[in-house]
Amino acid sequence: MSQHEAPLSRDQAEQLLADPWTAASNWDVLPVGESVPARAIKALAPGLEVALAADTPTPAPAPTLAELGELSSSSYDLSVNQAGQLGIPVIGSVSGGASRRVVVLEWSRFKEFPEADGGIARYGFTVRFCLTVNKWNADLKVSLPFLSAQAELGNIQATWKMEVRGLAGPKINAAVILPQPLSVETFVIARQSLETIVAAINDPTTSYIPGLMISRTPPDTGEQKLRKSAVEAYALYAIYKGRPELRAESDLPSKQPGDEDILRGVYEQLGVETTGETPAQSIRETAKRILNGLSVGT
Protein backbone atom coordinates (compact mmCIF):
# COMPACT_ATOMS: atom_id res chain seq x y z
CA MET A 1 0.00 0.00 0.00
CA SER A 2 1.30 3.45 -0.89
CA GLN A 3 2.28 5.73 1.96
CA HIS A 4 2.98 9.43 1.48
CA GLU A 5 3.53 10.84 4.96
CA ALA A 6 5.96 13.78 5.19
CA PRO A 7 6.98 13.99 1.50
CA LEU A 8 10.24 15.71 0.62
CA SER A 9 9.84 19.46 0.33
CA ARG A 10 10.63 21.21 -2.94
CA ASP A 11 13.67 22.82 -1.31
CA GLN A 12 14.96 19.42 -0.18
CA ALA A 13 14.50 17.94 -3.65
CA GLU A 14 16.16 20.90 -5.35
CA GLN A 15 19.07 20.79 -2.93
CA LEU A 16 19.46 17.07 -3.51
CA LEU A 17 19.60 17.61 -7.25
CA ALA A 18 21.85 20.65 -7.28
CA ASP A 19 24.56 20.12 -4.70
CA PRO A 20 26.13 16.71 -5.34
CA TRP A 21 26.11 17.06 -9.14
CA THR A 22 26.76 20.72 -9.92
CA ALA A 23 27.77 22.71 -6.83
CA ALA A 24 30.17 20.14 -5.42
CA SER A 25 33.27 19.39 -7.47
CA ASN A 26 34.25 16.44 -5.28
CA TRP A 27 32.09 13.71 -3.82
CA ASP A 28 33.83 13.80 -0.45
CA VAL A 29 32.23 17.19 0.31
CA LEU A 30 28.46 16.88 0.12
CA PRO A 31 26.38 19.62 1.74
CA VAL A 32 23.18 17.59 2.01
CA GLY A 33 22.95 15.83 5.37
CA GLU A 34 26.15 14.06 6.30
CA SER A 35 29.41 13.73 4.41
CA VAL A 36 31.28 10.48 4.95
CA PRO A 37 34.90 10.46 3.71
CA ALA A 38 35.89 7.39 1.74
CA ARG A 39 38.52 6.30 4.26
CA ALA A 40 36.01 6.39 7.11
CA ILE A 41 33.61 4.17 5.22
CA LYS A 42 36.35 1.78 4.20
CA ALA A 43 37.57 1.45 7.75
CA LEU A 44 34.07 0.38 8.79
CA ALA A 45 33.52 -1.91 5.83
CA PRO A 46 34.53 -5.14 7.62
CA GLY A 47 31.76 -4.39 10.14
CA LEU A 48 29.06 -4.07 7.50
CA GLU A 49 26.98 -7.05 6.51
CA VAL A 50 24.18 -7.63 4.07
CA ALA A 51 21.21 -9.13 5.90
CA LEU A 52 18.83 -11.38 3.99
CA ALA A 53 15.12 -10.80 4.38
CA ALA A 54 14.59 -14.47 5.15
CA ASP A 55 16.42 -14.35 8.46
CA THR A 56 16.06 -10.66 9.37
CA PRO A 57 12.45 -9.64 8.78
CA THR A 58 11.27 -6.04 8.82
CA PRO A 59 10.57 -5.05 12.45
CA ALA A 60 6.93 -4.80 13.46
CA PRO A 61 5.51 -2.28 13.10
CA ALA A 62 7.50 -1.27 10.04
CA PRO A 63 8.65 2.37 10.00
CA THR A 64 6.40 4.65 7.99
CA LEU A 65 7.75 7.29 5.66
CA ALA A 66 7.01 9.95 8.29
CA GLU A 67 9.14 8.07 10.85
CA LEU A 68 12.25 8.03 8.67
CA GLY A 69 15.05 10.46 9.38
CA GLU A 70 15.99 13.43 7.25
CA LEU A 71 17.42 12.96 3.80
CA SER A 72 21.18 12.37 4.00
CA SER A 73 23.88 11.90 1.41
CA SER A 74 27.28 10.25 1.45
CA SER A 75 30.03 9.25 -0.93
CA TYR A 76 32.54 6.44 -0.63
CA ASP A 77 34.59 4.01 -2.65
CA LEU A 78 35.06 0.30 -2.06
CA SER A 79 37.00 -2.60 -3.49
CA VAL A 80 34.90 -4.78 -5.80
CA ASN A 81 35.11 -7.56 -3.21
CA GLN A 82 33.73 -5.32 -0.48
CA ALA A 83 30.98 -4.05 -2.76
CA GLY A 84 29.95 -7.62 -3.56
CA GLN A 85 29.87 -8.51 0.13
CA LEU A 86 27.66 -5.50 0.90
CA GLY A 87 25.25 -5.99 -1.99
CA ILE A 88 26.46 -2.85 -3.81
CA PRO A 89 26.07 -3.30 -7.60
CA VAL A 90 29.31 -4.21 -9.38
CA ILE A 91 29.44 -4.08 -13.18
CA GLY A 92 31.29 -7.22 -14.27
CA SER A 93 32.92 -9.75 -11.97
CA VAL A 94 33.86 -9.10 -8.34
CA SER A 95 37.50 -9.95 -9.10
CA GLY A 96 40.27 -7.68 -10.27
CA GLY A 97 41.88 -6.65 -7.02
CA ALA A 98 43.08 -3.15 -6.23
CA SER A 99 42.97 -2.11 -9.89
CA ARG A 100 39.16 -2.03 -9.76
CA ARG A 101 37.03 0.07 -7.42
CA VAL A 102 33.36 0.85 -6.94
CA VAL A 103 32.52 4.51 -6.30
CA VAL A 104 29.13 5.11 -4.68
CA LEU A 105 27.11 8.32 -4.36
CA GLU A 106 24.15 7.65 -2.10
CA TRP A 107 21.01 9.41 -0.86
CA SER A 108 18.83 7.82 1.80
CA ARG A 109 16.20 8.22 4.51
CA PHE A 110 16.13 5.58 7.21
CA LYS A 111 15.31 4.64 10.79
CA GLU A 112 17.76 2.67 12.91
CA PHE A 113 16.80 -0.31 15.09
CA PRO A 114 19.13 -1.89 17.68
CA GLU A 115 19.88 -5.59 17.24
CA ALA A 116 20.40 -8.22 19.90
CA ASP A 117 24.14 -8.54 19.15
CA GLY A 118 24.73 -4.83 19.63
CA GLY A 119 24.58 -3.99 15.94
CA ILE A 120 22.26 -1.56 14.22
CA ALA A 121 19.86 -2.25 11.34
CA ARG A 122 18.72 0.52 9.02
CA TYR A 123 15.29 0.40 7.39
CA GLY A 124 14.10 2.89 4.79
CA PHE A 125 14.87 3.75 1.18
CA THR A 126 18.04 4.59 -0.71
CA VAL A 127 19.03 5.85 -4.15
CA ARG A 128 22.53 4.88 -5.24
CA PHE A 129 24.70 5.89 -8.17
CA CYS A 130 27.26 3.07 -8.46
CA LEU A 131 30.31 3.45 -10.68
CA THR A 132 32.62 0.49 -11.34
CA VAL A 133 36.05 1.81 -12.33
CA ASN A 134 38.67 -0.37 -14.02
CA LYS A 135 42.36 0.59 -14.12
CA TRP A 136 42.03 2.43 -10.79
CA ASN A 137 45.10 4.14 -9.37
CA ALA A 138 45.81 6.30 -6.35
CA ASP A 139 45.94 9.51 -8.40
CA LEU A 140 42.25 9.36 -9.28
CA LYS A 141 39.92 11.76 -7.49
CA VAL A 142 36.53 10.64 -6.21
CA SER A 143 34.82 13.27 -8.36
CA LEU A 144 32.27 12.48 -11.05
CA PRO A 145 33.32 15.31 -13.43
CA PHE A 146 36.98 14.28 -13.06
CA LEU A 147 36.25 10.59 -13.62
CA SER A 148 33.99 11.42 -16.59
CA ALA A 149 36.81 13.40 -18.20
CA GLN A 150 39.30 10.59 -17.55
CA ALA A 151 36.91 8.10 -19.16
CA GLU A 152 36.42 10.42 -22.15
CA LEU A 153 40.21 10.56 -22.61
CA GLY A 154 40.46 6.78 -22.36
CA ASN A 155 42.56 6.84 -19.19
CA ILE A 156 40.04 4.71 -17.30
CA GLN A 157 37.20 2.38 -18.14
CA ALA A 158 34.10 2.84 -16.03
CA THR A 159 30.44 1.83 -16.10
CA TRP A 160 27.67 3.24 -13.94
CA LYS A 161 24.35 1.94 -12.70
CA MET A 162 21.51 3.57 -10.77
CA GLU A 163 19.93 1.53 -7.97
CA VAL A 164 16.78 2.27 -5.96
CA ARG A 165 15.75 0.30 -2.86
CA GLY A 166 12.58 0.82 -0.85
CA LEU A 167 10.68 2.71 -3.56
CA ALA A 168 8.58 1.19 -6.35
CA GLY A 169 6.35 2.47 -9.12
CA PRO A 170 6.20 2.95 -12.89
CA LYS A 171 8.09 6.26 -12.86
CA ILE A 172 10.83 4.83 -10.66
CA ASN A 173 11.13 1.80 -12.93
CA ALA A 174 11.35 4.00 -16.02
CA ALA A 175 14.15 6.09 -14.51
CA VAL A 176 16.40 3.17 -13.57
CA ILE A 177 18.03 2.56 -16.94
CA LEU A 178 20.48 -0.13 -18.03
CA PRO A 179 24.16 0.20 -17.05
CA GLN A 180 26.03 2.77 -19.14
CA PRO A 181 29.74 3.27 -19.89
CA LEU A 182 30.89 6.50 -18.27
CA SER A 183 31.57 9.49 -20.51
CA VAL A 184 30.83 13.20 -20.49
CA GLU A 185 27.64 12.46 -22.44
CA THR A 186 26.39 9.72 -20.11
CA PHE A 187 27.15 11.95 -17.12
CA VAL A 188 24.24 14.08 -18.38
CA ILE A 189 22.09 10.95 -18.71
CA ALA A 190 22.94 9.96 -15.14
CA ARG A 191 21.88 13.36 -13.84
CA GLN A 192 18.61 13.20 -15.80
CA SER A 193 17.93 9.74 -14.39
CA LEU A 194 18.47 11.02 -10.86
CA GLU A 195 16.20 14.03 -11.44
CA THR A 196 13.45 11.69 -12.62
CA ILE A 197 13.84 9.46 -9.55
CA VAL A 198 13.70 12.40 -7.14
CA ALA A 199 10.61 13.79 -8.85
CA ALA A 200 8.98 10.35 -8.67
CA ILE A 201 9.43 10.05 -4.89
CA ASN A 202 6.39 12.27 -4.30
CA ASP A 203 4.37 10.91 -7.22
CA PRO A 204 1.03 9.24 -6.28
CA THR A 205 2.04 6.14 -8.25
CA THR A 206 5.18 5.62 -6.13
CA SER A 207 4.99 3.27 -3.16
CA TYR A 208 7.32 3.29 -0.19
CA ILE A 209 8.16 -0.30 0.76
CA PRO A 210 9.88 -0.58 4.17
CA GLY A 211 12.90 -2.81 3.85
CA LEU A 212 16.29 -3.50 5.35
CA MET A 213 18.93 -1.28 3.79
CA ILE A 214 21.95 -2.56 5.70
CA SER A 215 22.91 -4.11 9.01
CA ARG A 216 25.95 -2.70 10.78
CA THR A 217 27.64 -5.05 13.22
CA PRO A 218 29.93 -3.64 15.91
CA PRO A 219 33.11 -2.85 13.93
CA ASP A 220 35.60 -2.66 16.78
CA THR A 221 35.67 -6.27 17.91
CA GLY A 222 38.95 -7.63 19.22
CA GLU A 223 39.21 -10.14 16.39
CA GLN A 224 38.75 -7.46 13.74
CA LYS A 225 41.40 -5.27 15.33
CA LEU A 226 43.86 -8.18 15.39
CA ARG A 227 43.07 -9.02 11.76
CA LYS A 228 43.77 -5.41 10.75
CA SER A 229 47.07 -5.46 12.63
CA ALA A 230 48.04 -8.76 10.98
CA VAL A 231 47.35 -7.44 7.47
CA GLU A 232 49.24 -4.22 8.23
CA ALA A 233 52.27 -6.23 9.38
CA TYR A 234 52.00 -8.38 6.24
CA ALA A 235 51.91 -5.22 4.09
CA LEU A 236 54.99 -3.81 5.82
CA TYR A 237 56.89 -7.05 5.23
CA ALA A 238 55.85 -7.08 1.55
CA ILE A 239 57.12 -3.51 1.17
CA TYR A 240 60.38 -4.42 2.90
CA LYS A 241 60.80 -7.25 0.39
CA GLY A 242 60.20 -4.82 -2.49
CA ARG A 243 56.90 -6.27 -3.65
CA PRO A 244 54.32 -4.12 -5.47
CA GLU A 245 50.91 -3.91 -3.86
CA LEU A 246 49.28 -6.01 -6.59
CA ARG A 247 51.67 -8.88 -5.86
CA ALA A 248 51.18 -8.53 -2.10
CA GLU A 249 47.45 -8.74 -2.62
CA SER A 250 47.66 -11.81 -4.86
CA ASP A 251 50.03 -13.54 -2.40
CA LEU A 252 47.77 -12.92 0.60
CA PRO A 253 46.96 -16.47 1.82
CA SER A 254 43.39 -15.70 2.89
CA LYS A 255 41.28 -12.67 2.06
CA GLN A 256 38.52 -10.97 4.01
CA PRO A 257 36.45 -7.89 3.17
CA GLY A 258 38.56 -4.82 3.84
CA ASP A 259 41.97 -6.48 3.44
CA GLU A 260 42.64 -4.74 0.12
CA ASP A 261 41.97 -1.35 1.67
CA ILE A 262 44.22 -2.09 4.65
CA LEU A 263 47.02 -2.99 2.22
CA ARG A 264 46.40 0.17 0.19
CA GLY A 265 46.48 2.28 3.33
CA VAL A 266 49.90 0.99 4.41
CA TYR A 267 51.40 1.36 0.93
CA GLU A 268 50.01 4.90 0.63
CA GLN A 269 51.24 5.88 4.10
CA LEU A 270 54.79 4.87 3.22
CA GLY A 271 54.63 6.72 -0.11
CA VAL A 272 53.89 4.00 -2.69
CA GLU A 273 51.41 5.81 -4.92
CA THR A 274 50.25 3.18 -7.42
CA THR A 275 49.34 -0.49 -7.06
CA GLY A 276 51.90 -1.71 -9.59
CA GLU A 277 54.80 0.38 -8.30
CA THR A 278 57.85 -1.33 -6.83
CA PRO A 279 58.70 0.31 -3.48
CA ALA A 280 61.79 2.51 -3.62
CA GLN A 281 64.82 1.52 -1.55
CA SER A 282 64.21 4.33 0.96
CA ILE A 283 60.64 3.12 1.47
CA ARG A 284 61.85 -0.44 1.93
CA GLU A 285 64.28 0.77 4.58
CA THR A 286 61.45 2.54 6.39
CA ALA A 287 59.37 -0.65 6.43
CA LYS A 288 62.39 -2.62 7.69
CA ARG A 289 62.92 -0.13 10.51
CA ILE A 290 59.26 -0.34 11.56
CA LEU A 291 59.32 -4.15 11.54
CA ASN A 292 62.51 -4.13 13.64
CA GLY A 293 63.34 -7.75 12.91
CA LEU A 294 59.76 -9.04 12.73
CA SER A 295 59.28 -11.56 9.92
CA VAL A 296 55.89 -12.15 8.30
CA GLY A 297 55.73 -14.87 5.64
CA THR A 298 58.50 -15.51 3.17
The pLDDT of residue 56:
47
Exposed / middle / buried, residue 166 (Cβ in 10 Å: 0-12, 13-18, 19+): buried
The pLDDT of residue 61:
65
Write phi, then psi, for 147 (nearest 5 degrees).
-65, -35
- Report the pLDDT averaged over residues 272-297: 86
Gap between the Cα atoms of 20 and 242, Å rounded: 40
The per-residue pLDDT for range 203-259, each reduced to its tens digit, is: 889 888 877 776 555 555 677 788 888 899 999 999 999 999 888 888 887 777 678
The pLDDT of residue 40:
28
The per-residue pLDDT for range 118-135, each reduced to its tens digit, is: 677 788 888 888 888 876
* pLDDT tier, 60 (very low <50, low <70, confident <90, very high otherwise): low
The pLDDT of residue 240:
93
Domain ranges of the chain: 10-216, 222-291
The per-residue pLDDT for range 132-156, each reduced to its tens digit, is: 887 666 556 666 777 777 787 777 7
* Range of 81-85, 111-115, 257-261 with top mean pLDDT: 111-115
Task: Tell me: pLDDT of 3 over 70.
Answer: no
CB 53 within 8 A of CB 37: no
Quote the mean pLDDT of the chain. 71
* Range of 12-16, 87-91, 231-235, 263-267 with top mean pLDDT: 231-235
pTM > 0.85: no
Tell me which of 25 and 20 has the higher pLDDT: 20
Exposed / middle / buried, residue 226 (Cβ in 10 Å: 0-12, 13-18, 19+): exposed
The per-residue pLDDT for range 65-79, each reduced to its tens digit, is: 888 887 777 777 777
Percent of the chain with pLDDT over 90: 8
The pLDDT of residue 38:
29
Percent of the chain with pLDDT over 70: 67
The pLDDT of residue 296:
76
Angle subtended by helix axes 144-152 and 184-201, to nearest 10:
140
